[in-house]
Amino acid sequence: MSSAQTAPKLIGESNCFLEVLERVSQITQLNRPVLVVGERGTGKELIAERLHYLSERWDKSLLKMNCAALNQELLESELFGHESGAFTGASKLHKGRFERADGGTLFLDEVGTMSMRTQEKLLRFIEYGEYERLGGGATLTADVRLVAATNVDLPELADKGKFRHDLLDRLAFDVVTLPPLRARKEDLLLLAEHFALNMAKELGLALFTGFDKQAVDQLLTHTWPGNIRELKNAVERSVCRWGSDPEPIGELQIDPFESPYRLNEKAKVTSQKTASLAAEEPQAQTSSLALQLPINFKEEVENFEQELINRALKEGRFNQRKAAELLGLSYHQLRGNLKKYSLLKESEADT
């Protein structure tokens, strides 16, 4: 994107998202710091790029630094630079990002992870535009617009004494808060189609066949904790797996780890359960095993089976093939059980 030197194209028509874009447009020309906050994957970096490319600094550098990627010393050296011999391994003079971004914008990602000492240096830069290279005596100045981003609650961090209140006040001259995807339901299909079309193009597919009702339901019911990044990956993965099938995409691969052999808590609980049954040690992992004896064994086993089937149907969004997979059963075995428990009506969505 930076090579094209244009503001990134941001997809979205929901009111809350349009308000964000409006706000960004209002503050592009201000030379004050901006804090972009939002859950992971909500588009903070794209907003930072937009702030830069819509500003009068657009033809100068936009540099980015993830504050969580380096320890305190290396981060300071990357931000402020160092003189040769400033520390072991510092053989040459190194210009920092502030120096190299002079006239442009510096994006500081995950700013909440910065140490208190680095925060102090950053505050000084914001207040006076001054800094020193590590190991250097000369005070340098730079004209850099700061855009910081975080997915943590910085005021709370400041209250806990882990972030400087005075720095927060300065960084938060303007705060742009990005809505999570679940609050932008109107944009979901728009975004999904955009990512699917791009993926189809990348794969050289003749056309994108669209999503069928079940896939659309999946898109709309999933809560997308990883927001747009998660949606993008899920859609691209699904288009890729669906391949050149001429039917619309019938199922989204939301969770790439989904497998009947998945090594997860569920699997551990099941194996613990088996082990504990063998050892005759009662475990309170599931409601059935927490039962007090005596019981009606047959009835309880049937209840447990129905509980598992209902859960798998729900997790598989009433797709019987998926539910069978989740239970480690064949499709026909599951159908047999559904008939046995008269559960067929609730799961007719499957083909």
Ligand X SMILES: Nc1ncnc2c1ncn2[C@@H]1O[C@H](COP(=O)(O)OP(=O)(O)OP(=O)(O)O)[C@@H](O)[C@H]1O
**To the nearest whole angstrom, how small is the minimum distance from the Cβ of residue 291 to Mg ion?**
48
Six token digits for residue 348: 């007719």
63 and 203 in contact (C-beta within 8 Å)?
no
* Residue 350 interacts with Mg ion (CB under 5 A): yes or no: no
- 151/285 with CB nearer ligand X: 151
List binders of ligand X among 288-317 (CB under 6 A): none
The position carrying tokens 């008269």 is: 342
Give the CA distances from residue 279 to residues 275, 283, 301, 343, in Å, rounded to whole numbers and listed in that order. 6, 11, 19, 34
**To the nearest whole angstrom, how small is the minimum distance from the Cβ of residue 41 to Mg ion?**
8
* Residue 151 interacts with ligand X (CB under 6 A): yes or no: yes
The position carrying tokens 């006040």 is: 169
At CB < 8 A and 24+ separation, what contacts does 276-280 make? none
**To the nearest whole angstrom, how small is the minimum distance from the Cβ of residue 10 to ligand X?**
4
The position carrying tokens 């250097």 is: 136
List binders of Mg ion among 34-53 (CB under 5 A): 45
* Residue 152 interacts with ligand X (CB under 6 A): yes or no: no
Q: Pick from 41, 81, 104, 180: which binds ligand X (CB under 6 A)?
A: 41
- 67/326 with CB nearer ligand X: 67
Phi first, then psi, for residue 162 (nearest 5°) are -105, -5
- 40/201 with CB nearer ligand X: 40
Q: Pick from 24, 28, 37, 44: which binds ligand X (CB under 6 A)?
A: 44
Q: Are strands 130-131 and 105-109 parallel, antiparallel or unpaired?
A: unpaired
Number of residues binding to ligand X, judged by CB under 6 A: 15
Alpha helices in the chain (DSSP H): 15-27, 44-53, 72-80, 97-100, 116-128, 154-159, 165-171, 185-203, 213-221, 227-242, 265-278, 297-315, 320-327, 331-340
Binding mask 106-145 for ligand X (x = CB under 6 A): ----------------------------------------
- 36/215 with CB nearer ligand X: 36
Distance between CA 337 and CA 4 in Å, rounded?
58
List binders of ligand X among 165-224 (CB under 6 A): none
* Residue 232 interacts with ligand X (CB under 6 A): yes or no: yes
Q: Would you tell me which residues interact with ligand X (CB under 6 A)?
A: 10-12, 38, 40-46, 151, 228-229, 232
